[in-house]
Chain A
Amino acid sequence: MMARTFWAAMALTASVAAAAAQEDVITVVHVEQNPAVQEFWEDLAKKFESANQGVDVQFQYLEAEAFKQKMTTLLQSSDRPDIIYSWAGGVLRAQVEAGVIADLTEKLDPAAKDMLLPAALDAFTLDGRIYGVPVRMTQVGIFYNKDMLGAANVDPASLATWDGFLKAIETLKAAGTTPLVVGGADKWPLMFYWSGLALRAGGSAAFEAAVAQEGEGFAAAPFVRAGELFQQLTALEPFQSGYMGTKYGASVGQFGDGKGAMMLVADFVLNGMKANAADGVGIPLDRLGFAPLPTVEGGADEPNATLGGINGWLVTEGASPRAADFLAFFMQPENQRMAAQKSFYIPTVKGLEAELANPIHQVISANLAKSTYHQNFYDQALGAAVGAVVNDVSAELAAGNMTPEEAADAVQEAYAFEQ
């Protein structure tokens, strides 16, 4: 059985090699699950192929967790794809240090660099060298159901501060409404709370000091404060019943079905809600509101700092020379315009703000434009190992199994071990 699989694999490799000899194949491995976005990209690839004879762009889509686990082996094998998806952060650094990612600094012309939002390009710049092209940015904030807040007489403006947010929770609970929905079984949705509060409590300075291991690192006061603030919230029992057994997809469906009034999540929720809501739509866009992370009293004076994801594409070392050309073509404003117009995602190309069709995308795009500091998701920024610990402690804080000090110490210990 094993031998048969082995020979099948050899035959497959041989056939792929034969195809490569005839034409220049660019393989792209990605995690996108939305068929509309996949179709949009494949159309772009066809355009590129017709303009470049002998080039064949092939997309492969993997589920995100499978992608993460496969990539370490795949990048070191002879079947290394030409272009891969990336969340930047610690995983990107590990890949760059392993020498499997191509340096694009010389390949990107200055005009192309100027086209991109600086914060987004920064995430793919390590030690002054550019290793990837950012494609989309997301922002974490409070998505709220306007009708449910209205029915309980909660003013959305009160969500601007943490105290106001806690009051809103109490009011909603008193009105018999489930205030918040979260996919606790996946843990990372709870990480948004802890890392968001750490950003508001300590700002960019606290995170940068912790990464540089100055002072107490991740055991420092702002990170303990984040846990304390989070437990002020969890003490109110704000989440839907059984939230620790709910996966992210199911939780988004519950939010879309009106089973809870608010959700602290990034704007990728808009696609997920459509896919998971019982009616295939969820909350209509005009009944959905967005508020940035609440500010905390005595916290960092950076109200415009944002938390969210920065996703991009990397070219691997030894990839087809046409791979970088395809990326440059892909990122041209006229090609990314469609993503904005069809509300697929918020592109990182400047000047497309006016084209965004989705009102919430417009709000978030404006927030990102005035953002003084964009914090990448902790579970990406700190790499797989420390990121998982951050997700763990966020879940333990929510369940009340850990004190804020223990949570901060656990993250610090995991981070120090990786240095």
Chain B
Amino acid sequence: MTVDYAGEGSATAASRGWKLRLVRRDEALLALVFLPPALLLFTVFVALPILEAAQYSFFNWNGFGAPEKFVGLQNYVRLFTHGAFHTALANNGLIILASLLIQMPLALLVATMLADREPLTDTFRLIFFLPYVLAEVTAGLIWRFIYDGDYGVVAAMTGWLGLDPVYVLADRNFAIYAILLVIVWKYFGLHMILFIAGLQQIDRSLYEAARIDGAGGWTLFRTITLPLLAPTIRLSIFFSVVGALQLFDVIMPMTAGGPSDSTHTIVTYLYNFGIIRTRFGFGSAVGVVLFLICVIFAFGYKRTVMRND
């Protein structure tokens, strides 16, 4: 609607312009009716809380009454010098890496196998998609049981093999990798479905033509599938990164960030060090940092990588 028709001189263009203006007037009316409620809700429930959080982050505040103890940038200084926060950032990085290097190739592989309608593909799609449908907390609790060294599935496995019990979630060097496995298991189904949808958009005749020209499986994948699936892959990367940054509810039932704060993400860190301790000023500072990371990534990614999508 931002196209400027003023430069066009022909009669048809002029009448089209007149019609357009009419449409615009209708739209303006519509906007006048429908925009204020949405704008109000957005302001009250999104914009204001963000601004308030930014304000609280300069106070030492336990949540009672109005924030009064102004501490300047001290919350941010404490945050950036806190070892547990560095670990949380590194863990977020690890989760993103695992999503991009393990989860996405796996999802793509499975998707290429299940994209064509053949017997049983629906069944397998359902099986692989099931973990994604499961509630995060439920999945976390199930895996806590699986990893349990005394009563869980891991305990049964070490029992059969005659090994000493292994306590994966109690070991601060390994707990985060155990969680990564769960994340890949939980979310690769979503990306698989995205890829299947993307693959079904590709014209079959392209493959036929290429095959007639003598192209093999890998060439077909590299020269047809991958380029035509690129928009879906870019979208999938976006979901992976934003999802990784916001990861919270799978981790809480498994380790709640422990042992020794080794499995925090930014959000579990915020919950543990801001909300549980009723240090809402500090928690707000974490929230502001997370918000900035998300905004910079989202806008940067849309402007560069997803520019043409």
The reply to whether A73 and B63 form a contact with Cβ atoms under 8 Å apart is yes
Within 8 A of B (CB), among A305-325: none
The reply to whether B64 and A76 form a contact with Cβ atoms under 8 Å apart is yes
Q: Which among A8-16, A93-101, A204-212, A295-303 touches the partner chain? A: A93-101
The reply to whether A417 and B60 form a contact with Cβ atoms under 8 Å apart is yes
The reply to whether A385 and B279 form a contact with Cβ atoms under 8 Å apart is yes
The reply to whether B276 and A242 form a contact with Cβ atoms under 8 Å apart is no
Within 8 A of A (CB), among B130-181: 149-150, 164-165, 167-172, 175
Docked Cα-Cα span, A254 to B278, in Å, equals: 32
The reply to whether B45 and A245 form a contact with Cβ atoms under 8 Å apart is no
Choose from A241, A254, A399 the contact partner of B165 (Cβ within 8 Å). Answer: A241
The reply to whether A385 and B278 form a contact with Cβ atoms under 8 Å apart is yes
Choose from B63, B65, B164, B167 the contact partner of A245 (Cβ within 8 Å). Answer: B167
The reply to whether B64 and A185 form a contact with Cβ atoms under 8 Å apart is no
Q: Does B41 contact A (CB under 8 A)?
A: yes
Docked Cα-Cα span, A245 to B151, in Å, equals: 13
The reply to whether A245 and B170 form a contact with Cβ atoms under 8 Å apart is yes
The reply to whether B255 and A242 form a contact with Cβ atoms under 8 Å apart is no
Contacts A94-B62, A185-B170; A385 near B260 (Cβ below 8 A): no
Docked Cα-Cα span, A388 to B229, in Å, equals: 49
Q: Does A65 contact B (CB under 8 A)?
A: yes
Complex interface bits, A361-385 against B, C-beta within 8 A gives 1, otherwise 0:
0000000000000000000000111
Choose from B65, B259, B275 the contact partner of A184 (Cβ within 8 Å). Answer: B259
Contacts A76-B64, A98-B64, A185-B255; A242 near B150 (Cβ below 8 A): yes
Q: Does B17 contact A (CB under 8 A)?
A: no
A69 to chain B, nearest CB (A): 6
Docked Cα-Cα span, A2 to B42, in Å, equals: 11
The reply to whether A385 and B62 form a contact with Cβ atoms under 8 Å apart is yes
Q: How many A-B residue pairs have CB under 8 A?
A: 85
Which A residues are in CB contact (< 8 Å) with B65?
76, 98-99
Choose from A2, A97, A395 the contact partner of B64 (Cβ within 8 Å). Answer: A97
Which B residues are in CB contact (< 8 Å) with A75?
64
Docked Cα-Cα span, A401 to B261, in Å, equals: 11
Which B residues are in CB contact (< 8 Å) with A187?
258
B251 to chain A, nearest CB (A): 13
Chain B interface main SS type: loop
A413 to chain B, nearest CB (A): 10
Choose from A69, A243, A395 the contact partner of B276 (Cβ within 8 Å). Answer: A69
Choose from A3, A185, A245, A388 the contact partner of B149 (Cβ within 8 Å). Answer: A245
Choose from A95, A184, A388, A399 the contact partner of B277 (Cβ within 8 Å). Answer: A388
The reply to whether A399 and B259 form a contact with Cβ atoms under 8 Å apart is yes
Which B residues are in CB contact (< 8 Å) with A417?
60
Complex interface bits, B41-85 against A, C-beta within 8 A gives 1, otherwise 0:
100010000000000000010111100000000000000000000
The reply to whether B62 and A242 form a contact with Cβ atoms under 8 Å apart is no
The reply to whether B255 and A245 form a contact with Cβ atoms under 8 Å apart is yes
Complex interface bits, A399-419 against B, C-beta within 8 A gives 1, otherwise 0:
101000000000000000110
Contacts A95-B64, A385-B278, A388-B276; A185 near B167 (Cβ below 8 A): no
Choose from A68, A69, A242, A401 the contact partner of B170 (Cβ within 8 Å). Answer: A242
Q: Does A228 contact B (CB under 8 A)?
A: no
The reply to whether A185 and B279 form a contact with Cβ atoms under 8 Å apart is no
The reply to whether B63 and A72 form a contact with Cβ atoms under 8 Å apart is yes
The reply to whether A241 and B149 form a contact with Cβ atoms under 8 Å apart is yes
Which A residues are in CB contact (< 8 Å) with B196?
none
Which B residues are in CB contact (< 8 Å) with A100?
64
A414 to chain B, nearest CB (A): 9
B150, B164, B169, B276: most-surrounded residue (chain A CB, <10 A): B150
Choose from A94, A185, A254, A418 the contact partner of B258 (Cβ within 8 Å). Answer: A185
Q: Does B267 contact A (CB under 8 A)?
A: no
The reply to whether B278 and A72 form a contact with Cβ atoms under 8 Å apart is yes
Q: Does A396 contact B (CB under 8 A)?
A: yes
Docked Cα-Cα span, A95 to B278, in Å, equals: 12
A112 to chain B, nearest CB (A): 29
Complex interface bits, A241-283 against B, C-beta within 8 A gives 1, otherwise 0:
1111110000000100000000000000000000000000000
Known: A73-B63, A384-B62. 13 other contacts (CB 8 A): A69-B276, A72-B63, A76-B64, A97-B64, A242-B167, A242-B170, A243-B170, A244-B170, A245-B175, A383-B62, A385-B277, A385-B279, A388-B277
Between A and B, 26 residue pairs with Cβ closer than 8 Å are A2-B45, A68-B278, A94-B62, A94-B278, A98-B65, A99-B65, A185-B255, A241-B164, A243-B170, A244-B167, A244-B172, A244-B259, A245-B149, A245-B169, A254-B150, A384-B62, A384-B277, A385-B62, A385-B277, A385-B278, A392-B261, A395-B258, A395-B260, A396-B260, A399-B259, A399-B260
